[in-house]
């Protein structure tokens, strides 16, 4: 019996239509718009000005505090303006707009870096390099990696878990990265094991990626302390708390972190970015993005420079198909719809999904029939129908008392609701209000 988490979960259609598509490199954009808030925490502080020339990989915005991250220029060029631009959140955010220099060879030389297995840096140097290179969690949360790795002395940390689950329908960026960069990812795991003085690591992969499971089992044959865990296909298997429970049987406490039970979890994309940072001093200026949809001419996976317009990505796969109803940043379950394609790719952009009219249509919201389906599928053991009602009626203090902040926003409740109630929409709204209320008290 394959391991999985015990509470809730659903089985939406996988639609992994790009799983066989090798990662291609997007052509260098003529300009990039680089947001300074691409991570959880404090936005970075801009350290360049209009008309200034910048080199590829140069720091253009420095970490603004403990929970923050450096931002680097993905191209060599000239800063044309510092401007407020709508990003994938739908709000205007401060961006650094850089015009690419078409004559600078560094923009067009993409050297294939050979595998480098010797780890020369010491633990403190590894953590500093991760900080300097602006590495954040690439699984969607974009939590600054150096903060997660800043483990207090005396913490009983004994496991590193690598999240290769990618349970979100449609998305295959992590799957392809695992197939194409398995050896590098294993070196990245060893780098973190050295930095954290750990002897044990587990790579968690859902069983619908048998090729990746087989490949990693082959690569780690001679590695001490690294294992592969094949997991049952169940959404949201990739949630940190669900993954820790599935692999180790440990229950992360309510409002707690995996570190509270001796575990640190990192996504495979983050591990690969750490490998490049430590072994080649390469900052995080690009990532793999799945561009997909059932009606696309050529759905694909791409290496994309941060700040590239989503319009360019859409054009690369043949343009918006006729009848497209929604353009989603991320996957269909946890992703968020964006108004248009004039927004930039950020460190957190795992995929761009184009959904047709038929697929996107919601049924008319009806009254709750008290069927309990939302409760049954909630992986956090919450009562989504109650949380929606409290948010809808403005009872935010009570919603806080009912643990609304522990919701991981997986969308399982909305997916199964027979009354088509917008449960997640209201819960997200309620969480935002509760967060603001809690912040104002401090």
Mean pLDDT by runs of 10 across the 442 residues of the chain is 94 97 96 95 95 98 94 98 88 94 92 93 96 94 92 88 98 98 98 96 98 98 95 97 97 92 97 98 98 95 97 94 92 91 94 91 92 98 98 96 96 97 96 90 72
pLDDT value of residue 18: 97
Q: Give the separation between CA 142 and CA 76, rounded to whole angstroms.
A: 25
Confidence (pTM): 0.96
pLDDT of 95: 96
Q: So what's the pLDDT on residue 372? A: 96
Quick one: three-class SS letters along 138-183? CCCCCCEHHHHCCCCCCCCCCEEEEECCCCCCCCCHHHHHHHHCHH
In angstroms, what is the C-alpha Rg of the chain? 21
Strand order in the sheet with 324-329: 23-25, 300-305, 286-292, 351-356, 324-329, 336-338
123 burial via Cβ count (<10 Å: 0-12, 13-18, 19+): middle
State whether the Cα torsion 81-86-87-91 is positive or negative.
positive
Predicted local confidence at residue 442, as pLDDT: 66
Centre a 10 Å sphere on the Cβ of residue 423 and count the other Cβ atoms it contains. Answer: 27
CA distance 409 to 432: 12
**DSSP per-residue string spanning 278-340:** HHH---S-EEEEEEE-TT-SS-EEEEEETT-BHHHHHHHTTSPPTTEEEEEES-TTT-EEES-
Residue 243: what pLDDT? 98
Question: How many Cα atoms are found within 13 Å in the side-chain-facing hemisphere of 374?
Answer: 26
d(CA 188, CA 193): 9
Q: How many helices (H) and strands (E) does the chain have?
A: 14, 17
């Amino acid at each position: 019996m394959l391991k999985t988490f015990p509470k809730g979960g659903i089985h939406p259609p996988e639609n992994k239509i790009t799983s066989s598509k090798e990662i291609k490199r997007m052509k260098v954009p003529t300009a990039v718009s680089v947001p300074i808030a691409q991570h959880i925490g404090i936005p970075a502080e801009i350290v360049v000005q209009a008309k200034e020339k910048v080199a590829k990989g140069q720091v253009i915005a420095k970490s603004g505090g403990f929970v923050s991250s450096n931002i680097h220029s993905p191209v060599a060029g000239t800063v044309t303006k510092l401007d407020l631009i709508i990003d994938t959140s739908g709000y205007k955010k401060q961006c650094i707009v850089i015009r690419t220099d078409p004559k600078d060879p560094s923009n067009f030389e993409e050297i294939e870096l050979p595998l480098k297995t010797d780890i020369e840096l010491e633990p403190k140097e590894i953590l500093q390099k991760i900080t300097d290179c602006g590495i954040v969690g690439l699984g969607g949360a974009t939590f600054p990696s150096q903060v997660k790795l800043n483990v207090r002395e005396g913490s009983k940390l004994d496991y590193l878990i690598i999240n290769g689950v990618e349970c979100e329908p449609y998305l295959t960026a992590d799957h392809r990265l695992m197939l194409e960069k398995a050896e590098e990812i294993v070196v990245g795991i060893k780098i973190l094991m050295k930095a954290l003085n750990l002897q044990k690591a587990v790579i968690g992969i859902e069983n619908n990626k048998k090729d990746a499971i087989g490949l990693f089992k082959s690569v780690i044959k001679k590695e001490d302390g690294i294992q592969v865990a094949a997991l049952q296909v169940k959404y949201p298997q990739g949630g940190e708390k669900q993954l820790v429970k599935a692999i180790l049987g440990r229950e992360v406490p309510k409002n707690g972190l995996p570190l509270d039970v001796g575990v640190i979890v990192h996504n495979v994309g983050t591990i690969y970015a750490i490998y490049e940072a430590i072994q080649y001093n390469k900052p995080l200026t690009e990532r793999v993005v799945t561009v997909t949809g059932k009606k696309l001419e050529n759905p694909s996976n791409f290496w994309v420079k941060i700040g590239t317009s989503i319009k360019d990505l859409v054009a690369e796969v043949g343009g918006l198909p006729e009848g497209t109803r929604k353009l989603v940043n991320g996957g269909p379950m946890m992703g968020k719809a964006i108004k248009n394609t004039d927004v930039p790719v950020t460190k957190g952009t795992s995929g761009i999904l184009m959904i047709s009219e038929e697929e996107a249509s919601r049924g008319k919201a009806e009254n709750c029939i008290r069927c309990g389906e939302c409760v049954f599928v909630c992986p956090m053991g919450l009562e989504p129908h109650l949380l929606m009602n409290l948010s809808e009626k403005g009872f935010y203090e009570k919603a806080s008392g009912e643990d609304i902040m522990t919701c991981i926003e997986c969308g399982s409740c909305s997916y199964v609701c027979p009354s088509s109630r917008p449960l997640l929409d209201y819960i997200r709204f309620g969480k935002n209000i509760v967060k603001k209320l809690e912040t104002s008290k401090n």
